[in-house]
Chains A and B, each alone.
Chain A
Amino acid sequence: MNCFLYNSSVGKKLVMSISGCALVLFIIFHMSMNLTALFSAEAYNMICELLGANWYALVGTAGLAALVVVHFVYALILSINNYRARGAQRYAVETKEPGVSWASKNMLVLGVIVLVGLLLHLSHFWAKMQLVEILGGHESEVGGQMIAATDGAALIQYTFSKWYNVVLYLIWFVALWFHLSHGVWSMFQTAGFANDTWYPRLKCLANIVSTLIFLGFAAVVVVFFIKAQCGCC
């Protein structure tokens, strides 16, 4: 294949940048959707029903899956390449360079945590919802009771009543925060839309985006956990 997106370093990075950008946009959409669950279970379930296993939701899911695969496979290819470029002999002493963020040097590790979290999340939700519908079913057994494939609110309630899920999800969100705090400004840099004037702005934007995403997702998890503990509502 003789395409710069495949055989040049800058091209490969562009693929990371664009796929990453699309995933961030999806995450923002997902977060907004989640937030409705805080206010109204019915509203949330309406959205679940709307998406369900309709053709556009399926196309969207397939697209997202492809983005995740591309983002991850390219990350692996680039990382292996980078590891080799570093040479066999490593420095005996390494000191952190001033002004270099921890996240920027650990994007692969953070990415893997995010991916593992994603798989867990898919098993908790997607496997009980869209997958069930794809397989022709309408409900599945969760924790000893049958839950409808469109009853996302019930799944949320159930999942975050367990403290260990809360902990795992929060770890996942923290990893995502770090990943995005570098990734969001970095995608502009890779695409060539950055300069010394814009670095502070872009880094500020990255921090705002990653923090909002963290807070949005974490709020749902924490609120549902607290609700479950009170048992009042």
Chain B
Amino acid sequence: MAFKLDAKIPAGALADKWSNHKAAIKVVSPANKRKLDIIVIGTGLGGGAAAASLGELGYNVKVFCIQDSPRRAHSIAAQGGINAAKNYQNDNDSVYRLFYDTIKGGDYRAREANVYRLAEVSNLIIDQCVAQGVPFAREYGGLLANRSFGGAQVSRTFYARGQTGQQLLLGAYAALNKEIAAGSVKSYPRHEMLDIVVENGEAKGIIARNLVTGEIERHGAHAVVIASGGYGNVFFLSTNAMGSNGSAAFQCYRKGAGFANPCFTQIHPTCIPVHGTQQSKLTLMSESLRNDGRIWVPKKLEDVKALRAGTLKPSEIKEEDRDYYLERRYPAFGNLVPRDVASRAAKERCDAGFGVNETGLAVFLDFKTAIERLGEDIIKQRYGNLFDMYEEITDVSPYKEPMQIFPAVHYTMGGIWVDYNLMTTIPGLYAIGEANFSDHGANRLGASALMQGLADGYFVLPYTIGDYLSKKIQAPKVDVNSPAFEEAEKAVKEKIQKLMSINGKQSVDDIHKKLGHIMWENVGMARTEQSLKTAIKEIQALRKEFWKDVKVVGDAMSFNVELEKALRLADFLELGELMARDALNREESCGGHFRSEHQTEEGEALRHDDKFAYAAVWEYKGMDEEPELTKEPLDYEFTHRAQRNYKD
């Protein structure tokens, strides 16, 4: 049974859609809001902002996070900034321009209406955050400062040093604290959602595990909001936090929510290269560095050899022997091309043998020109903390020698399918932020993730959820003793029991590393039909190996990190296959999804709008069954789809 997808896009002119929609949807009276319960999974920018705003409206909210405090969600690690179409720099920015840049950056695989709404509410976000006491960077006149970011020709990025995500999250967390103090939100830290409970086709609650005691708990609600972030950790090595996982989203998929465009993965161009086999985590260097840093590799292969042998320092290579390949290939945008373009260009140079470290998987990000132009002091002011961080990790000072960088998995544009109201294919189940698929198409622009999380959480969901809940005002409190809850809890307990009893030979991390390797090699920056078929086969085999040979030590009824990781890996082992299947189905290149068979003569991504201008929505059919594909056509009414051009 394929999905009947209705995106519920309001009619009318692009700029009027959101206003018209808000006017048309139903609201819930204050007296009735008190009777309605909402569960929010995750406390990042999306979940934190949503829980706070919903609590403020008067709903009873329960908010869950796996960390020891809501403040630690991974949104906190975003460095560079947040976009908004304020036009404070007077550089002719506008809501339309932000919308257009985002659509184009996403390689025309996002919904126009959603993206326009995102651009429209972006300005409200900055107002909101300033009012909450977020200390954004300011100019001497006391007004807000901006910087520029990849994929845009205007300066529209607001920032708080290199810690913008942290500051925005602390703002949302403060708003959440206000509501927790007021009693409208109840917080459940160190709790992990292990299943979604669906009754009569509607979301009715969750099964959660208390990560401290190991107890399995049931929580009922009139609506459930998934704000659990992305699934980049399927690659084992990524810039995501160690605990970031795709399990909450995957349980929704398993229970009938459509999963859209799972193959759209963002590979961030500026990460610190992998140093060895024992590494657990990759570190991102902010995209803002590309404002002043120039990316290059040597022109001559003998220089590359000398660099690898350690007989030549990068700073000793003459200007004319350097290949600033982004500036060469994309004169108009130069080092500020979108992330997918920059990542692929780095891969192209490394594949051609110009990688500058021992593994051949690194390029230079050089500040020499900027230091000569602006002086070391200004560079220190702008990037001091990032430079220090780089030196701590690599023992090399970026003031003296260029940084080495290489692309790494950073963000997943794909996610749970949602309609314009952010509701999934399961009524009463919502997905916001990175967990959904709606706004970034095939590639996300820098400084847009924070924008989307907060837009969904503060300004979209609190309105749209009312439309559904207005029909629930007569519904009684959810009974957590119903058969649906019984069954879900039983299934969770059995799964845990099964994992604990395998007692095989491989640790969870051993298998996760293997999965990561399969994914990076075959479903990474460049994919082919062959590599994807290999990946599917290998992942299936690895999954079997996992369920036969994993070793989970300890006790299920206690604090047990190995069990937590095993449960997450079990889902990654299915999600990885789904990603490969989606990538195999999408026989074109677009944004972060690059199929080597489909490229222009110059090596750029080649879209096939006639065949693939749709969101691929997958329906779960069972662990070893092929999922079913439903297509949501993406009609471009207001923009002209073109080959992305960052050259002129």
Q: Let me know if chains A and B touch directly in the complex, using CB atoms closer than 8 Å.
A: no
